Amino acid sequence: MNVETNSLYYLLKEVFLLLDDGDRRLFGAYELTQARFYALFHLGEQPGISSSRLSELMFCDKSNITRLIKGLESDGLVVRRPHETDGRSLRLYLTPEGENLGQKVLRAHHDYNAERLNCCLTFEDQNGLYEWLVTLRNGLEQQLYESEVLPVA
């Protein structure tokens, strides 16, 4: 089967939107947005990271991260502490409440991912798809970092 490039792109985009909508619904059940979930996730994985690093991990600008962190902080989920050696910078940490919520939602997310992927893909299909998507991701990353300018039609 020969698949047109645009058809493949739109199929990947449609799958992304379906996964994204499912995530949005799941996180909403915990009164979280996707951005708030991923902030909790990254802070749980890397306690003490800077807001600059968090913005890189979440592919958004620093002003968005600042607003996000302020909201999480006012909800008692995140605290900012001074860096040990650089008094000008702050490190971000989850509070015990933030850790508990993050772990609870992460478990639910893992279960939900297993449910929605195992319903229609065999273990072998999942492994093959994983390898192909890693190859695609690596190629796209390389392409983006090598060329700063997008082609103009």
Q: Residue 23: which CATH number?
A: 1.10.10.10
Cβ proximity of 56 and 50 under 8 Å: no
Half-sphere exposure at residue 70, Cβ-oriented, CA atoms within 13 angstroms: 6
C-alpha distances out from residue 113 to 55, 71, 87, Å: 25, 27, 41
Residues pairing with 90 in the sheet: 82
User: What is the average pLDDT value for the chain, to the nearest integer?
Assistant: 93
pLDDT category of residue 150 using cuts at 50, 70 and 90: low
Does the residue 152 lie in any domain?
A: no
- Residue 104 is predicted with a pLDDT of 98
> How far is it, in rounded angstroms, from Cα 117 to Cα 127?
12
Q: What is the residue range of 14's domain?
A: 5-146
Residue 5 to residue 108: CA distance in whole angstroms: 35
Is 153 among the domain residues?
A: no
Q: In whole angstroms, give the CA distance from residue 60 to residue 35.
A: 10
- Domain-embedded: residue 38: yes
Q: Is residue 51 situated within a structural domain?
A: yes
* Residue 1 pLDDT level (bands cut at 50, 70, 90): low
Q: What is the pTM of this model?
A: 0.83
Domain assignment present for residue 60? The answer is yes
pLDDT score of 82: 86
The whole-number pLDDT of residue 153 equals 60
The pLDDT tens digits of the residues spanning 91-134 come to: 999 999 999 999 999 999 999 999 999 999 999 999 999 999 99
- Confirm whether 151 is domain-assigned: no
- Give the residue, 72 or 86, on which the prediction is more confident: 72
Residue 145: per-residue pLDDT: 83
Please give the tally of structural domains in the chain: 1
**Is residue 136 in some structural domain?**
yes
